Amino acid sequence: MRKTVLFDLDDTLYPELSFVKSGYRSVAVFLTERYQPKLKDDKRIYEELMALFYENPKRVFNRYLEACNIPFGDREIRELVDCYRKHEPDIVLYPDALQTLFRLRDLGCDLGIISDGYHVSQRNKLNALFNGRLNLFGRIILTDELGRGYSKPDERSFLMVKEYFKTDWSDMVYVGDNPAKDFYIGNEHPILTIRIKKPGTVYEGTEYLEGVREKLMISELSELYGIIKRS
């Protein structure tokens, strides 16, 4: 049977930490332009932002401005968040991602993406990662573009892909990384859920939603070809 292989984006096809670093570099430049001469070394600002992120990824911009004794309100934080979210990222795919996608396509698989996250950021990531090769995917769904409530583990985006490719649940595969939302769909429908687990990823230690685990686990995307070919 023809397989429909769907992918998450962040920490599945590329390392999400690279987007964080890229975003903080853009924010560091923004801060030097906004708060000169008090802030003038964007490389040092970037290092300080990353240190705060590693300490605790919450409210990094608030904590940074507080540490610098710079008055701020909601407007200033929104500007920094917008800079982070809307920047053109300097990111690349995992080394084996593109070859794996080509091999799966040549095997006759339909390919798609279902990804949560702020839709402008996700579009910018896709454009940076695939650089004209987005036609590899027959269907790309960014749940934020659909509206509130569509983010995983909501099943509607999976149903949309199922209908688009005119496939059966049992011929669908979803590859993701986040235990809190990527694999619960396998509890509702007979989709083969596969977790790619690498050290240092954002959701590496996250607990599973209601204890629902993936059907299979891999450490490299290149392992997918053999799994799909045998299934």
Chain mean pLDDT for the chain: 96
Tens of pLDDT, residues 177-193? 999 999 999 999 999 99
Q: Are 113 and 22 within one domain?
A: no
Domain count for the chain:
2
**pLDDT for the residue numbered 38:** 84
Of the residues 52, 86, 120, which one is the last residue of a structural domain? 86
Which pairs count as long-range contacts for 31-38, CB under 8 Å and 24+ apart, including other chains?
Answer: 31/80, 34/79, 35/68, 35/70, 38/68, 38/70
Of the residues 86, 109, 139, which one is the last residue of a structural domain? 86
Q: Are 43 and 22 within one domain?
A: yes
Tens of pLDDT, residues 22-72? 999 999 999 999 998 888 899 999 999 999 999 999 999 999 999 999 999
Q: Are 70 and 144 within one domain?
A: no
Q: Are 9 and 39 within one domain?
A: no
Q: Are 128 and 218 within one domain?
A: yes
Q: Are 67 and 28 within one domain?
A: yes
> Where in the sequence is the domain holding 141, given as residue range(s)?
4-15+91-230
Q: Are 66 and 175 within one domain?
A: no
Q: Are 64 and 119 within one domain?
A: no
21 phi, psi to nearest 5 deg = -65, -45
Tens of pLDDT, residues 126-173? 999 999 899 999 999 999 999 989 999 999 999 999 999 999 999 999
Q: Are 171 and 57 within one domain?
A: no
Share of the chain above pLDDT 70, in %: 100
Q: Are 116 and 62 within one domain?
A: no
**pLDDT for the residue numbered 231:** 83
Helix axis angle for 74-86 and 119-130, nearest 10°, is: 30
Q: Are 151 and 202 within one domain?
A: yes
Q: Are 104 and 213 within one domain?
A: yes
- Answer whether residue 1 shows pLDDT above 80: no
